[in-house]
Amino acid sequence: MSTPAEKHALRVSGETSLTLVAFIVFFTALLAWVYLFSQPVIEQSTRNEKLVVLNQILPANLYNNDPLADSLTLPPEPQLGTKTASTVYRARNNGKDSALVMDVIAPDGYSGPIKLLVAFSANGQVLGVRAVEHKETPGLGDYIDPRKDKNKTSPWIDQFNNVPLSLSNKDWHVKKDGGDFDAYAGATVTPRAVVKAVHRAQEFVMDNRKVLFTRSTTQNSANP
């Protein structure tokens, strides 16, 4: 037989744990409810955000499909600098291949990798570049992001708008290294990394553009 004290302790601990369970159930339900409500809005915002960047580097007259829906997942690719699977968005005009937008990573930024989004035309020309994620020094190397660039009328990254295909391997360098691309004084590591990464990515597109445009999304998900 248990003593009254033991019975009391048992009852209190039972009640306490039941209270905790009740709180957990209630607040989990609250979270589930908020999640259900906000999820469609969050998906829409994420999509809009991607579209905003996409529209900055991909001329709207080049396509009439939905590139976000017509995407392809690529395995990690050293030439693109990607260490995990990355996405390629395909733009087509009335079914005709017109442009590719893909994730490119410059691994050798001043403070870690620089994540870029690069648009290529169907013949492999670079149409535009945006830095999506980077940790470059604020006020020094972060001008690769046009929002941080002091030169608002022609930001540094605009040099990548419609880069001529005739550019030789020697031209694909910053001016300091004898190439064609400007770099602001004081920070050459960052632009050097970006120029090299875009060039490598262009070579990759040149070699693989047929496959990138034709490979179907479904086939890809089965065999990435």
Partner 1 sequence: MWITRTEFVDIAHKGIWKQNTSLVQILGLCPLLAVTTNLVNGVMLSLATLLVMSLSNLAVSSLRHFIPYEIRIPVFILIAAALVTVVDLAMNAYLHGLYVVLGIFIPLIITNCIVLARIEAFAAKNRPAPAMMDGAMMGVGMLWTLALIGAMRELIGGGTLFSGIDLVIPGAQALQLLPADYPGLLMAVLPPGAFIILGCIIASKNWIDARSATRQLTQAAPVSAGGCH
Chain residues that interact with partner 1, rule: CB under 8 A: 15-16, 19-20, 23-24, 27-28, 30-31, 34-35, 38, 41-42, 45-46, 48-49, 137-140, 150
**Minimum separation from the CB atom of position 106 to partner 1 (A):** 20
Q: E-strand spans in 8-125?
A: 71-74, 86-93, 96-106, 114-121
**Minimum separation from the CB atom of position 172 to partner 1 (A):** 30
Comparison of 15 and 203: residue with beta carbon closer to partner 1: 15
Instruction: State whether residue 134 is helix, strand or coil.
Output: coil
Comparison of 14 and 224: residue with beta carbon closer to partner 1: 14
Comparison of 1 and 150: residue with beta carbon closer to partner 1: 150
**Minimum separation from the CB atom of position 212 to partner 1 (A):** 28
Cβ contacts of residue 110 below 8 Å, gap of 6+?
136, 137, 141, 187, 189, 190, 193
**Minimum separation from the CB atom of position 180 to partner 1 (A):** 27
Comparison of 35 and 55: residue with beta carbon closer to partner 1: 35
**Minimum separation from the CB atom of position 51 to partner 1 (A):** 12
Would you give the DSSP letter of residue 105? E
How far from the centroid of its chain's Cα atoms is residue 173's Cα?
24
Contact (Cβ atoms closer than 8 angstroms) between residue 113 and residue 80 = no
Q: How far apart are CA 11 and CA 6, in angstroms?
A: 9
Comparison of 13 and 214: residue with beta carbon closer to partner 1: 13
Nearest Cα to 86, choosing from 76, 78, 95?
Answer: 76
